[in-house]
Amino acid sequence: MHAGWRQYIKQRLKKPSKFYSVGIEFGIDSIQVSVLIKDKETVRWVKQQLLPTHDWQKHLRDYVSSESLSNTPCHIVFAASKYQVQQVDKPQVDDAELSQALVWTVKDLMPHQEDIIVEYFDLPAQSSGANKVNVVAMVKSEIVELSDGVIDAGLELQSIGILELAVADMLEKSDDAVLTLVQEPGQDICLNIVKRGDVYFSRRLRGYENLSTFSEQELQMGVGDNLSVEIQRSMDYFESQLRQAPVKKILLGVESPHLQKLTEIMQQLTFMTVEPLSPEVVGTDDLHFRSSLIGSLGAAYKEQNGLHHEE
């Protein structure tokens, strides 16, 4: 009863934040924090911070306090290395029972027997005769620890999501499909095909963890060819199996000192328009977009896109 009253009093005394939103990406070795403010009708990127994962609750609490971020709406995204998206048959149950049914479906695929929380998002298009759904299963205790830490830091937690959807949120909505390759340092490449802000196709490309360290010569000696093959396979599936119009553009969100050369190589090999992934983000002069920030920025810019969860 005492704890309940204390929480009630805290809610009553809560002052609204002057900031628009906080986006946090939880990775293996670090936590990225992006902060936005809304000036009239313009949303601006005003703060960026890298926090260590060790004792992250204290570091986040100190940062929120020092930057006066208390009570700001907060959206969380997991880095791609912290989860896997699985495509499973959609249970034949009512929508209200779907999340719980998916828990039992996914539990059989998990390597452990811990309690899990399931996230899912629908497929905008499917191959003939298929009725599947994209599912992400996370250990419940980890979600509880994360949620408690963010709330205790003084932020208003509103959603927990994944990198695939954060990338889609950062792109301009268009009827033309685009293929994105996003890689965070030392991780697999996350390939998405996005149309009208929805993820139509997603997969991980393994074996490219050291891509950011490759020289121009190494990029020309097979790496570009291998990537092009994987891209072509994905586009073929998108067109033939999902019966969609061809992809119009490839966007590279890769941290590399030779990004321009990689862009040129990919353009020559795929015969497609290839550009660096550079969302139109209005930021202060000292903030510059890098692909490693797309998770936290996508979370901060998050729109409600049909993500559901159940435990």
Which DSSP category does 227 fall into? Answer: H
Q: Can you name the residues that pair with 309 across neighbouring β-strands?
A: 119
Residue 307 has pLDDT above 50, yes or no: no
Sign of the alpha-carbon torsion through 196, 277, 268, 240: negative
Predicted confidence (pLDDT) at residue 98 exceeds the cutoff of 90: no
pLDDT of 136 higher than 80: yes
Tokens of 154: 């003084």
Kindly list the domain boundaries of the chain, sorted by start residue: 1-171+279-311, 172-278
Which class does domain 1-171+279-311 fall in? alpha beta
- Tell me: the pLDDT tens digits for 261-298? 899 999 999 999 999 998 888 888 889 888 889 999 99
Q: How confident is the model at residue 222 (pLDDT cuts 50, 70, 90)?
A: confident
Nearest partner of 298 among 150, 141, 192, 148, judged by Cα: 192
**Please, are residues 27 and 79 in contact by the beta-carbon 8 Å criterion?**
yes
Sorted by sequence, the CB contacts under 8 Å of residue 271 that are 6+ apart come out as none
In 10 A of CB 127, how many CB atoms?
12
State pLDDT tens for residues 37-94: 988 888 899 999 999 999 999 999 999 999 999 999 999 999 888 887 888 888 888 8
Strand-pairing partners, residue 156, are 73
Query: Residues 63-75: pLDDT tens digits?
Result: 999 999 999 999 9
Q: How far apart, in whole angstroms, are the C-alpha atoms of residue 36 and residue 43?
A: 6
Looking at residue 284, its pLDDT comes to: 83
- Our separate counts of H helices and E strands in the chain read 9, 14
Burial class (CB in 10 A: 0-12, 13-18, 19+), 39: exposed
Judge whether residue 254 has pLDDT over 50.
yes
pLDDT tops 50 at residue 308: no
Does the 172-278 domain belong in CATH 3.30.420.40?
A: yes
CA distance 33 to 49: 5
**Band of pLDDT at residue 218, cut at 50, 70 and 90:** confident
